[in-house]
Structure 1
Amino acid sequence: MIITEGLFDAEAMIEAGFANTVSVPNGAGTDFKRSFERFKYSHLADIKTVYIAGDNDEEGLKCRANIAAYFGEARCKQVEWPDDCKDANDVMMKYGKERIGECIKAATDCPITGAVTLNDISGRLDVIYQEGLKPGLTIGVKGFDHLVRFELGRIMVISGYPGTGKSSFEDFILLSLARQHGWKTAIFTPEKYPTELHYMELAEILTATKFHRDSMPKQMMQNAINWLADNIYHIDGEGGAAIDDILHVALQLKQRYGISVFALDPFNYVDLPMIAGANDTQKISNVLKKIVAFAHQQHVFVIVVAHPKKPDDFGKTERAASLYDIAGSADFYNKCDYGIILNRDKERDLTFVNVLKIRFKHLGQTGKCALKFDRKTGRFVGCKETYDEKNDIIYTPLQYDYDNWINATPIVQELPFEDEDVMPF
């Protein structure tokens, strides 16, 4: 069967020798179910191929898509007209019936919406073959760089018990990515209220200087404010925290300012959607699916800070949290590309970064490293690992970084994944 968008086009097709032609009754606005459903089993069930011979204009392309969706793309072919013709009637008037026959013979299979074949991505696959997989970006922290490589379009989940420094670690990552790689950030962080206090903290990390006129010169302050204004944007949660609203603002910031990172800290401030019959686990899964879709479609790196559920023996043991301990759903583990748990060793005053999940090898590797948090600057430094006579590990923090990041040129050393100073699981 051949389907056209108008009666004159159907008449042109019939005149060209294709009697098995019908037209949609109301052009691009046709209700296909209402128009064709009554013939579904009596006339249409045995038709093996549907040729979609609609118009080439914008409305015609919508009509073509609707026809393919109704009949199923697998049995549809799309007919293309010459560039100077809008429809079958134009072709008949300009070139005659023979050219219409040529267009029918040249019809191609309709693409199946939502399906990806190797041919669709062959160009990108060939780039990987020719050039190899490019490793993600690093931020210049010994130990951590060997475990995590940052790449746009990915999801990172950071978790850990209260007091492990999740937000501090996230802020350090955001500023490092912006400073070293130009990745601007949009952050939804209702806990950092009011927003000016969070900007104050970021300015202190950025300059390694206390945000006060007695410590920070006015010009340094102004430079920090200008830099933050160009690189870090906040999403207000006062008007509601539905994920659709949050992602809408993130999208606008992407389109206007070109953000590359979206941070959500913490996840439990997101209002779960009202879904009839769904429990919290299913609602969280729904929210996470939308976040993943945003990361992939907008090519944005997403960081989600999520709190683990409090264990019964919290405070009595040193048991580390796992990604499956995150409150509400195992989907935090299932849907992330990087899964990180932070642990604090109060006796040694160290933060242990446990990378429990890496989806692809070029994004890093699982393992554990020790970092030292400098409370004066809000920055993290790596540690050198040595062994004593009992074969216990001794962690020695590297030299603290007190540079003003606005003026200093970042030095990021490219390192191989394998490192004798990283503790693998």
Structure 2
Amino acid sequence: MTTLATRHVEFFEARGISPELAAKFEIYTGTLVGEKPNRHVVANPSGNILVYPFIEHGVVVNEKYRTERDGEKFFWHRKGGKRTFWNADVLDDPLLEAGTQALVITESIEDGMVAIDCGWPLTVSVPDGAPPVPKDGRLSPLDPQTEASGKFEFLWLNRDRLKRIKRFILAVDDDGPGQRLAAEIVRRLGAVRCLFVTFPPGCKDLNEVLRQCGRDAVSAVLREAKQYPVRGLYRLSEYPALPALHPISIGWPLFDGDSVASANNAWLKLFPGEFMVVTGIPSHGKSTWVLNVLVNIARAYGWRSAVFSAEMPTVPHLRDKLRRIIAGTAAASAEADEFIEGSFTFIDHDPNDADEEDITLEWIIEKARDAVLRDGIRVLVIDPWNEIEHARRRDESSTEYIGRAIRMLKRFGRQYEVAVIVLAHPTKDVWEHGRARTATLYDIEGSAHWFNKCDHGVVIERAPEANRSTVHIAKVRFEETGFKGAINMGFDVQTQRFEELAEKQKEMALE
């Protein structure tokens, strides 16, 4: 039988947690034995390591260790342990799927034990606490290389169980790391299912509420959790402290709105959760311009993009175009291919399956949700809209379908803080007397919804004989993210790169 050392009994009692509750979850005192690299923790009441077992269906699948040395705390996990929730068996409780109870998610195991002891048994804790706050105050992009096996692996491993749960109460710490943890969880689970708590003054977590205000106060904090605003009417006090809108540069200073030239004309910055529409006559470079943007933001911010490209096969065409943008040549390059591997996810048919099924918008969105969980994508690109198999209802007009489809894309973008970029071809109406005029968002086949519902609308127009392009910024919804107008750019055919022009931009009429 495992036991707790006296120092660890006192550790829990000082936090208002009974040793009996710790014993219920098989928490014990241990010590390190063996030699490196095979050192491991065994139960020992004389040890100095506090051991928290992670139990699933009666089997210990992981252990978290806590110890102190010279006043400093150290945490680590059992080598090879499963990075799942602590107390994960409650995820299968039918009350969660029925929606009659909410799943409480805490940052620390001690806070989880407090919630359980105060009458909220359907509580789990994240395995590794909260991530650090980024230096610039922005929600840091996830590391695409480690997302499926790193800080948020516990969400990916339990994704099927979490999909069935109707409500989540996020009772994480009220500090910078805790707020980032909440934002990351909300981005994956969807704001519509999440509630946030408000702690009494002077308290930053459930354990402090217990010690300073008592058990009833803990239950009240959880009972009075409020929904994250998604749709409808709310009082100002009901809104959580969400991060302010932080638009990012798309990679060319001329678009950043802080130069004389761009101040006289247009500028544009991308923001998480936005819906952007890009159009232009075929072969004028709208796909290439968007790929330039994706490479730029991957380099500057680590943003990973998911790309559905129906007209351009990923291998070799899309790969080679990206190689040219990144390295200046389509030749095989370990550095360029490593950048593509770490910055892009491709939504596509199975490359090893000869049978190609029709790809619908619903299928693309479902794969994009998986890409958020697995790869931490921040951008979804659909190129082009015209090549998707559109599952229109029998009683639905083309205009009604497009409106519904755009709402689906915007809902996905808002819930997961993913910028959605849709490329769409204009109709043949752009050709007049054998010559093409400048396309507009209203020229996109199907509906004026493309102009009315986008946050940014961009038209790419190229003059091949001069290797010049004009980026028409035709729609800007939020003034802090841009200004309507046009910006002239150079285009290098060899490298497929869009470049700023050395000469001063001329002021151009607003679109």
TM-score category by the smaller chain? 0.5 to 0.7
Counterpart of 1:115 (choices 232, 244, 264) is 232
Q: Tell me, which stretches of 5 or more residues in structure 1 are unaligned?
A: 1-56, 67-81, 87-102, 212-217, 387-394, 396-420
Shift of 1:295: 0.6
Query: C-alpha distance in 2, partners of 1:270/1:318?
Result: 25
Render the CA deviation track for 1:65-91: whole Å, top value 9, x for unaligned.
69xxxxxxxxxxxxxxx93389xxxxx
In the TM superposition, 1:51-66 aligns within 5 A as none
Q: Which amino acid aligns with 2:250?
A: I
Are 2:340 and 1:228 aligned? yes
Render the CA deviation track for 1:233-256: whole Å, top value 9, x for unaligned.
111143321111111111111111
Render the CA deviation track for 1:192-240: whole Å, top value 9, x for unaligned.
12533211221121101241xxxxxx7xx12222221121111114332
Residues 179, 339 of structure 1: CA spacing in aligned structure 2 closer, same or farther, 3 A cutoff?
Answer: same
1:178 equivalent in structure 2 = 298
Equivalent residue pairs, number:
294
Shift of 1:59: 5.2
In the TM superposition, 1:62-77 aligns within 5 A as none
Query: C-alpha distance in 2, partners of 1:296/1:60?
Result: 28
In the TM superposition, 1:356-371 aligns within 5 A as 356-371=474-489
Range that drifts further, 358-367 or 144-153: 144-153
2:280 equivalent in structure 1 = 160
Shift of 1:262: 0.7
In the TM superposition, 1:198-209 aligns within 5 A as 198-209=318-329
2:419 equivalent in structure 1 = 301
Query: C-alpha distance in 2, partners of 1:64/1:250?
Result: 26
Shift of 1:348: 3.7
2:390 aligned counterpart, secondary structure:
coil
2:269 aligned counterpart, secondary structure:
coil
In the TM superposition, 1:239-388 aligns within 5 A as 239-311=357-429, 313-314=431-432, 316-346=434-464, 348-386=466-504
Shift of 1:264: 0.4
Q: Which amino acid aligns with 2:499?
A: V
Runs of 4+ in structure 1 deviating by more than 4 angstroms, as ranges, are 57-66, 107-114
Tell which has more relative contact order, 1 or 2 (C-alpha 8 A, sep 6+).
1
Shift of 1:331: 1.1
2:256 aligned counterpart, secondary structure:
helix
Contact 1:272 1:284 in 2 (8 A): no
Query: C-alpha distance in 1, partners of 2:437/2:374?
Result: 45
Query: C-alpha distance in 2, partners of 1:332/1:140?
Result: 25
Residues 346, 65 of structure 1: CA spacing in aligned structure 2 closer, same or farther, 3 A cutoff?
Answer: same
Q: Which amino acid aligns with 1:186?
A: A
Are 2:252 and 1:141 aligned? yes
1:423 equivalent in structure 2 = 508
Query: C-alpha distance in 1, partners of 2:270/2:348?
Result: 26
Residues 108, 201 of structure 1: CA spacing in aligned structure 2 closer, same or farther, 3 A cutoff?
Answer: closer
Residues 307, 362 of structure 1: CA spacing in aligned structure 2 closer, same or farther, 3 A cutoff?
Answer: same
Q: Tell me, which stretches of 5 or more residues in structure 2 are unaligned?
A: 1-91, 102-116, 122-218, 258-266, 350-355
Residues 61, 222 of structure 1: CA spacing in aligned structure 2 closer, same or farther, 3 A cutoff?
Answer: closer
Query: C-alpha distance in 2, partners of 1:345/1:315?
Result: 18
Residues 222, 154 of structure 1: CA spacing in aligned structure 2 closer, same or farther, 3 A cutoff?
Answer: same
Query: C-alpha distance in 1, partners of 2:436/2:430?
Result: 12
1:44 equivalent in structure 2 = none
Shift of 1:177: 1.3
Contact 1:142 1:381 in 2 (8 A): no
Shift of 1:116: 4.2
Query: C-alpha distance in 2, partners of 1:303/1:315?
Result: 32
2:237 aligned counterpart, secondary structure:
helix
Structure (1/2) with the larger strand percentage: 2
Query: C-alpha distance in 2, partners of 1:362/1:245?
Result: 33
1:264 aligned counterpart, secondary structure:
strand
Query: C-alpha distance in 1, partners of 2:364/2:447?
Result: 20
TM-score, with length taken from structure 2: 0.52
Q: Which amino acid aligns with 1:115?
A: G
Shift of 1:332: 1.2
Residues 314, 259 of structure 1: CA spacing in aligned structure 2 closer, same or farther, 3 A cutoff?
Answer: same
Contact 2:430 2:438 in 1 (8 A): no
Q: Which amino acid aligns with 1:228?
A: I
Shift of 1:173: 1.0
Contact 2:305 2:381 in 1 (8 A): yes
Shift of 1:319: 2.6
Shift of 1:327: 0.7
Q: Which amino acid aligns with 2:445?
A: A
In the TM superposition, 1:25-36 aligns within 5 A as none
Contact 2:378 2:418 in 1 (8 A): yes
Shift of 1:422: 5.3
Contact 1:143 1:370 in 2 (8 A): no
Identity in percent: 28
Query: C-alpha distance in 2, partners of 1:251/1:325?
Result: 30
Q: Which amino acid aligns with 2:254?
A: G
Query: C-alpha distance in 1, partners of 2:306/2:273?
Result: 15
Greater C-alpha Rg: 1
